[in-house]
Structure formats: structure tokens, C-alpha cells
Amino acid sequence: MTDHTESNLGLRLRSLRDQRGLSLRALAERCGLSINAISQIERSENSPTVSSLHRLATALNVPITDFFQEEARHTSVFVKRDLGLHTHSNGVEMESLGIGLFNQKLEPFRIIIQPGVGNMEDPISHSGEEFIHCLQGEVEYRVGDHSFLLEQGDSLLFDASQHHSYRNPTQEPATVLMVYQVSGDRPFIHQLHMDDLREAQHDLT
């Protein structure tokens, strides 16, 4: 994630928190991150991890995409190859493949997971559905009581209200296409995988 993107994300997080009249302590209690971790993200001193961004988005009741865009929304969004907004931490790189659509319901991301990296010890859940397509390498997904090993070309679609987690069990990086869809009273799917990108490289895995 570039310094400019980090700066915008931090400012956007602070703006959303202020709009809701939440102190750092109040937001920390809602999302489970430390006050220090949130403060560092707002000051652009640390990048949030995948799960952290989801926790923050859920606590603020906004889609993850709200951290990366201005207020304007569009009726079509075109993203050139490798020019989507990036964020990375703790061995996971996340690139948005399209944000800013008016009344957006889907959130597509390209995610690169380094060898041995994952969140098996900290599964997450959220409303809506989730679609995973393995583009390169292998990634293990655990959904509820079931485990799935996705190899190149394999796909997985599941009800995201189930606890789920992932891991790259190989010695090579894995790349997946991940698409979130939120149902019910939440706008997008902001609520999950952007693992608060790092609460101090410990708190956010």
C-alpha cells in the first residue's frame, strides 16, 4: 500500500469515527482492536490487516470500500490491471478490483497469500455470501466443520455467516479472486477479510 493510500485510509477512518461520535476507546470496544492500533492506523503509522479492516468496517457499519473512496459514487467502475487500490500486511496483499459503484452490493478483491500465512486461529464470519476462485498456487479454506483445498482453477462459494478461515499450506505464494456479497441491512461486505491490517503486526492477524 502506498504512503498516499495509507494516508487517505487513515483520514477516512478518522472521519467515519468522528461522524459517528465515537472515541478511540468506544471504537476499540466495538471492533476488538486496541486503542493504540486504531490510533496508529489513523495516523498512517501502521497498515491495517485484512481482518482488521473488516472489524473496523463492521463496527462503523460501513462497507470496507468506504475506507478507500470519496463520497462520490458511480454507475460504472473500470480498473486497469495492477492499478487497483492495494493494502498489505503480515504476508497478505489485498487489491480492490472495483469500488465506488452506486449502491454497490459486491466487493471483488485479488488476494496474494504468502507461504504459511493465514488466519486459521482467528476465523471470521459475516452476513451474505463469499466466493473464492484460486488463480495460482493452493489455499486451504475452513468453513464451519469442513475443510477445502483449492488448487488453481478451483472455486468455493459459501454462506459467510459460518465461521471461516484460510491458509496457504505450501512453500509458494497463492493468489485468489475473492468476491463478497452482503445481504440484509448491511450495504456491502465490508465486514470481514481486511483484517485490520495490522494492529501492530500482532493484534491483527
Res 24: pLDDT: 92
pLDDT of residue 202: 38
Retrieve residue 167's grid coordinates.
Answer: 491458509
- In this prediction, residue 15 carries a pLDDT of 84
Spell out, as residue ranges, where the chain has pLDDT lower than 50. Answer: 2, 4, 184-192, 194-205
The proportion of the chain whose per-residue pLDDT surpasses 70, expressed as a percent, equals 81
The pLDDT, as a whole number, for residue 54 is 83
pLDDT of residue 7: 58
User: In the prediction, which pLDDT does 32 show?
Assistant: 92
Handedness of CA 134, 139, 141, 146 (dihedral sign): positive
The per-residue pLDDT for 182 is 60
- Whole-angstrom distance, CA of residue 176 vs CA of residue 109: 8
Q: How far is CA 155 from CA 22, 50, 70, 116, 139, in A?
A: 39, 20, 32, 20, 11
Looking at residue 203, its pLDDT comes to 38
Fold of 1-205: Jelly Rolls (2.60.120)
Q: What pLDDT sits at residue 74?
A: 72
